[in-house]
Structure 1
Amino acid sequence: MDNYIGQLLDNRYEILEVIGTGGMAVVYKARCHRLNRLVAVKILKSDLAQDADFRRRFHDESKAVAMLSHPNIVSVYDVSRSSSIEYIVMELIDGITLKQYMQKRGQLSWREALHFIIQITKALGHAHSRGIIHRDIKPHNIMILRDGSVKVADFGIARLTSSQNTLTQEALGSVHYISPEQARGSHVDARSDIYSAGVVLYEMITNRLPYEGDSPVSVAIQHINSVPLSPRELNPEIPEALEAITMKAMASDVEKRYPSADAMLSDLEEFRKNPSIIFDYTPADFMNKPDTGEPTQVISNSGRRKAINPRLRYSEDVEYEDLQVRRGSGRKRAVMVTAVVVVLVVIFSLWFFIFRSFFSATSELTVPELVGKRLEDVRSSDDNSEFTIVEGEPQYSDETEAGVILSQDPESGRKVKRNTEITVVVSLGPRTASMPDLVNTEYRSALIYLDNMGFDFHVTTSEAASDTITKGYVVSTQPVYGTELTKNAEIVVVVSTGPEVKMVTVPSFVGLPIETVELQLAALNLKEGTLTPVEDSSEDGTVLSQSVAATTSVPEGTAINFEISVGPAVTPSEKPVITPVTLTQTIGLPSGEGVVHVVVELDNAVVFDKTVNKNLGSIPVSLSGTGTEWMYVYFDGVLSDSREITFS
């Protein structure tokens, strides 16, 4: 297990797991306890930390990256340097590399490639404006986020342009993407990044690299001496303007290349606005190789066929032959001697190969059964000394422990020649993951996150009160954050029900004045409910009963209803006797012929409701009441008269 896993750096960064390994450093996933966020921590490898030059380069990277702040560049949060450990704290990216994306998608559409290269160029423009050259632009160092945005990462060999150190003895960057001046060990400036970005664009729109070879050296020589096939020869659907941009970025002559990332970005933006645009330059302007001042170098025919444009082969071959003639007769003798030696070596090699093949063919071996055995045991066993054991891509296995062989090719029992390679796939053991930090996460989102991890966890939920975690959010998990998990692990997610409810014992309020009761309710965090007035011999305002019985426990905030005395009831004998008075009122009828429907109300009570003949002129209506009341007269439903009647 890694020594740093579980450590707390500077009492702040808890190292959780390894997420990547490079030539100089190891990158870990970590948690910043001060800001409670996940970060990436890049730690210089311990064996390299002993080398002052490596420490200097690592520290230069820290200074370089810390100067950058751009949405398309991985952010750096912190830098630490001590006698025992050096590390950088960076933004943790949730995504995949552009290389992985291209491997999954294959050839990208030119629109998608344009979307990516614009963001890459913006990042380079920002870095160059701060005096920083990346020197290792390649799809492996470009991260694609879930939203499609791009972040340039890994300034592992970046250096300040003010630095005068040139690492000519090291292979800087990846050979398929390095500029010709990098391959020659010449002066490197911002235009080297533009060349590498052009190679990345070339690969995106053609689904192939401009130069390939049998060795890194042959590829590097092609960057110097060869010209790639134009993108439209490989994919005619590529717009001419985008092809021109690509070839200008990849111009071997730095003077013909874009002078800056901003200049390249300007052309990309013009092309984005108008894909039919025609620039004042063409791919042919960048097809000739510059005069490097160095002798012509010979590369393998296979590499030459892959790299050189067919239209230029004849002229380059003639140039090569002319160069040989100009070297003069003084060198012809040396060439002839060298040729004789080469012929003898070839003849001897062929004889040795045929001789060895003849005797090897007569000695076939049976492939042994390696599946189920530990790789270290297989390699140390003398029984397998006649074979070459090659380790293929390891795989996770829920049934097989780490280090045990899962499969082999060729299979056991087959007859093969001596020293045949047997490729074995070794188990990495069960796939594991760290328990994520789900505390204070909405519980449904937490369950979705666990499901998306793809481990078929058995997840159950329980509830618990919490004064600090909002209701419906995760209070805790079992196992806890950071625990190593395997497939089908049992996980319990505890969900908050909100603050714990406090219970109150209800006292007896009967017989107390309602004012006193209200004060006691407030002190107990209880609420006053409905007050119902009741005639009682008790003093006005005295509590007669309560809806919750005394000594009952109820939650704080519970409302209690009360019956309240309004004093004693008045006895019938004490009430004055009022005798109704009867009066007769004359109601005038409307003029005209026919009948009319007459309704008379006395204080909203109907006392007369008849249909009468209008010829009567008027009708008497008898009314009975006390005090003063209002009379209303309606003819056919329409109010016709209203008057106040006093009964005396």
Structure 2
Amino acid sequence: MSSRILAGRYELLEKIGEGGMAVVYKARCRLLNRYVAIKILKPEFTKDLKFIESFRRESQSAASLSHPNIVNIYDVGKEGNIYYIVMELIEGQVLSDLIKKEGPMEYHKAVEVTKQIALALSFAHKNHIIHRDVKPDNILITREGTAKITDFGIAKAVNTGTIVGNTGTVMGSVHYFSPEQARGGYVDEKSDIYSLGIVLYELLTGRVPFDAENPVAVALMHMNDDMVPPSQYVAQLPADLENIIMKATNKYQINRFKTADEMYHALSNMNYHLTAGPGNGTKQTFDATRVMAAVNGTTGTVQKENTEELIGDMRKKNKKENKPKKRVKINKVKVAAIILALLFAIPASHFILTAVEGIGAAKEVTVPDVTGMTVEEATDELAKLNLKCEVRDEVSSKEFDAGEIVSQDPVAEMTVKEGFTIYVNVSKGVAARGTIPNVVNRTSSDAKFMIESYGFTVGDIKTENSDLPKDIVIRQTPAGETEAAPGTVVDLVVSLGKAIEQVPMPNLMGMDVDAARTELEKKGLSLGAVGYEMSTAYAQNTVMWQQNEPGTLIEVGTKVNIKVSTGDQPAGSKAIPLTLDFGRANNEVFYLTVVISDESGVRTIINREQKFKSDGSEVLSLSGDGAGTVKVIFDNDVVMEKSVDFNTGVLN
């Protein structure tokens, strides 16, 4: 173990995880004598200079974040072509694993986890860093119950659960990303808030709100489909909690919480009165009163002698939040009543709270639904409840005519005080014209997604042979960057790949192996597997059988298998030793791949097995059928390719 050192100081101890982009190791920092986690970027991402630069820049920015709910980054570096991040080692479990193991969370616990991540995002946003990939896989829960978010540095890397934008940058993980990410639009702090709302939805219901067979379909659902309220799956969910989720996941950025702080305060001050939804999921039961875990993972207990101190602390907190003096006094009475009820189990505590809530408080009213109304109609309707109406923005809409209200904040059925202002977004109708996206050189599925996302319609899709790979768009009509009305039909021509070129199969019978190989190469063909069998009709070491009959038309580039005569002696198979010299590796940590091609076909006997250059060497024992080749690959570089004859045991 002591020889396996990265950057001269990090002793790699054991592999503890692997994702689509990186391998994670537990390691010991010799310099500071502490355990850390090290993420090493996989080799396939080290060839993309643009990705590496983004990876380095964002990792260094994330390293400046020091917060109890963010996994600390200690170091970012490079050794050879190994790119790595050294970070805090968390002893706990990933939130996604917790959801799979335990299912839906009790809502108090789900709220506490969400509040902690909201605090982390707030801190990052204030430092001008947007996460872009908030999801349970990137949230760790320590053994003490503290939630920590990670992967600020590589949130934009590509895997099968992501959608890629016009510039090749990743917009987020498909089940959690926002409508603007799906559209390839402007991403800001509210995009993280949307993703956090989806996470909270999953914590409460055990499922994501949108799911389908492929990422593109899920992306379209984020853009177009209404979310099923979580109360449809969870019985007795607090109405305020559902409203918070629906606001955080509003399809319009402007209608979400303005900041992560605002979402945190909404969760902290929510009313826990329950609402009885259909409850298609398992019904949850909750205690009427419980001691909540603090954000830092510790718990608080209420003692009788601390009553005045607690009231004093809340008074200071209310002053900091600039709340009216009258409300401070009311909160003090409420707190005192609750503490007395907890300490002495007074059954009448409900009546005490009901009485004190009426002292000097403004009347509460239920917000009506004003969507579809004009601003004048909405103003009159809201005035009946002593509420105000204010236009926030004008937006394009297919559903609502120009001048009609598209959305409102707060949403209908929420409870507010008289005099509250209801902000509305007003439709300016369907945009008269838009710009058709350029989808040439994209896959047909990506092209369809982009065209529909921009409000246009996919028309005829024709195919033809070309030098482009199969399924890549060759042409489009109208051309990209053309101004056109929404709904305009865009026709595509998609590549079938190069036209198949065929050549007549040569006659190899009676040739030796080298002559057969040369003859095949003249025709643009190649030698495939070479087998050996007894034959009295053909001389030893001459071709006695070929896969394709002479004169048959076959595709250029085809590998042709043959069998070679061993004369009157039976064919054998010998194990052959092969010494691998690790000194030929470019990096200390590298991936070993060994591929054998013989009479049985092509097979990989070692597939990207991690090795260490400092181990020196390793001897493999090769076995197979007939003759063929063995290829040795370090990372992505072929370091050895030899011919092998398992009949004679010769390797050269």
**Common fold by TM > 0.5:** no
TM-score for the superposition, normalised by structure 2: 0.41
TM-score for the superposition, normalised by structure 1: 0.42
